[in-house]
Amino acid sequence: MMNGMVQRVAVIGAGIAGATCAQALAQAGHAVHVFDKARGPGGRLATRRMAWVDASGQPCTTRLDHGALGLEARSPAFQAFIDDGVRAGWLAEWSPRLATGGRPLERGTRFHVPVPDMPELCRRLLQGITATWSCTVDNLHRNPLGWQVESAGQRLGAPFDLVVLALPPAQAAPLLAPLQDEWARQAALSPMQPCWTLMGVATTAGTAPPRWDLARPAAGPLAWVMRSDARPGRARMHGQAHWVAHARAGWSRAHLEQAPDWVAQQLRAALAEQLGGPVEWLHSTVHRWRYALPPARRCAPAESCWWDAAQGLGVCGDFLGGRGVEGAWLSARSLATALLRHAGAPLTPACCEALP
């Protein structure tokens, strides 16, 4: 690999980690191509479009944020990233009214939420970058021309000089197995907590709406309950409440393989208990996150990304950088810095502090 030349980089995964790394590399002048198995960017920064037909036969739609609740900063660098997003107008502050009697929030009562929906953050970061959606990368191999990225036996794009994997560890492990034994082993062993999520639209007719937007129940299956339509930039419909309820990791793990209908029934009952009475649903569904979050760590991770300069292969994500959106972002930036140093691109604040 020759320093100072434009590098062809494949980034697998378009969540916050992949999008952050892709943006830093593209801004430094490299030719970046992003691949994701989903239909668009965002990963666990997710918003689901729901459609149903109401009692009078009218088609209805809405959108609910069913992944990460929002962004919170511990580090000055991530705080600066948030501040920039607020100034540019694609991040908004959300200070939810908290339900009483529940568990306290760990980091204060202020979140930042991308507007108009959660994937907007990654959309912004990926502006102008080539991307291929709905393609699951299932094989990577190197030949003298460079890296070949494959999906279902099809070669994707021209060969690449560098490859970045920005995936949950269980999804990175099979791709790494033929390339980096030790990383594959560590990724396969990296624990990730699952999460069953209930989301739906209920009528508020005839019921007094709760005086809170966010609850952390002290007991029962639910860890978080949020009123999605109380968040900034989200549509609020008269006579409706939009609920998203995340089950606890332990409950989700115990019922991971249960039928969605059964899970929905359990979580609807738990939500009704939290709301203090029956809920009249217009529409509801559940989503199973197999890999929602790494467990909270007592110590900072030893490494915040993996980089193999000899192969031109890097890995980033929340399982390396620390729990949550901020950890994924920090991991991606540390990988981008290593890659830019290797590729010989100008390592200036403009490319490393890359902000949309």
String of DSSP letters for 298-343: SS--S-S-EEETTTTEEE-SHHHH-SHHHHHHHHHHHHHHHHHHHH
| 164 counts as binding ligand FAD under rule CB under 6 A | no
- Residue for token pair 């639209």: 201
**Residues in 327-346 at the binding interface with ligand FAD, rule: CB under 6 A:** 328
Across-strand partners of 12?
A: 35, 165
| 149 counts as binding ligand FAD under rule CB under 6 A | no
String of DSSP letters for 24-92: HHHHTT-EEEEE-SSSSS-TTS-EEEEEEE-TTS-EEEEEEE-S---B---SHHHHHHHHHHHHHTSEE
For ligand FAD, give the closer residue by CB, 62 or 331.
331
- The CA distance from 72 to 93, in Å, is 10
| 245 counts as binding ligand FAD under rule CB under 6 A | no
339: left (phi over 0), alpha (psi -120 to 50) or beta: alpha
| Minimum separation from the CB atom of position 122 to ligand FAD (A) | 8
Q: How far is residue 92 from each of residues 88, 180, 216, 258, measured CA to CA in Å?
A: 10, 41, 22, 36
Among 9, 10, 14, 176, binds ligand FAD (CB under 6 A): 14
| Minimum separation from the CB atom of position 2 to ligand FAD (A) | 28
Please count the residues of this chain forming the interface with ligand FAD, following the rule CB under 6 A: 36
Residues whose CB is less than 8 angstroms from the CB of residue 86 and which lie 6 or more positions away in sequence, other chains included: 92, 93, 112
Among 8, 9, 11, 18, binds ligand FAD (CB under 6 A): 18
| Minimum separation from the CB atom of position 71 to ligand FAD (A) | 6
Among 67, 102, 114, 200, binds ligand FAD (CB under 6 A): 67
| Minimum separation from the CB atom of position 27 to ligand FAD (A) | 18
| 324 counts as binding ligand FAD under rule CB under 6 A | yes
- Collapsing DSSP to helix, strand or coil, 16 comes out as helix
Residues whose CB is less than 8 angstroms from the CB of residue 240 and which lie 6 or more positions away in sequence, other chains included: 62, 201, 202, 203, 204, 229, 282
- Residue for token pair 């860890």: 223
| Minimum separation from the CB atom of position 350 to ligand FAD (A) | 23
For ligand FAD, give the closer residue by CB, 69 or 163.
69
| 15 counts as binding ligand FAD under rule CB under 6 A | yes
Among 13, 114, 217, 221, binds ligand FAD (CB under 6 A): 13
| Minimum separation from the CB atom of position 194 to ligand FAD (A) | 9
| Minimum separation from the CB atom of position 12 to ligand FAD (A) | 5
| 305 counts as binding ligand FAD under rule CB under 6 A | no
Stretch that binds ligand FAD, among 35-43, 141-149, 233-241, 340-348 (CB under 6 A): 35-43
**Residues in 104-143 at the binding interface with ligand FAD, rule: CB under 6 A:** 136-137
For ligand FAD, give the closer residue by CB, 43 or 314.
43
Among 167, 198, 264, 336, binds ligand FAD (CB under 6 A): 167
Among 11, 68, 315, 335, binds ligand FAD (CB under 6 A): 68
Q: How far is residue 7 from each of residues 146, 161, 354, measured CA to CA in Å?
A: 11, 6, 18
**Residues in 176-205 at the binding interface with ligand FAD, rule: CB under 6 A:** 195, 197
| 318 counts as binding ligand FAD under rule CB under 6 A | yes
Do β-strands 240-247 and 222-227 pair in parallel, antiparallel, or remain unpaired? antiparallel
- The CA distance from 274 to 92, in Å, is 27
| 44 counts as binding ligand FAD under rule CB under 6 A | yes
Query: Quick one: angle between helices 169-176 and 181-189, nearest 10?
Result: 160
Nearest to 98 by CA among 201, 217, 272: 217
**Interface contacts to ligand FAD, rule CB under 6 A:** 12-18, 35-38, 43-45, 67-70, 136-137, 166-168, 171, 195, 197, 246, 289, 292-293, 317-318, 324-326, 328
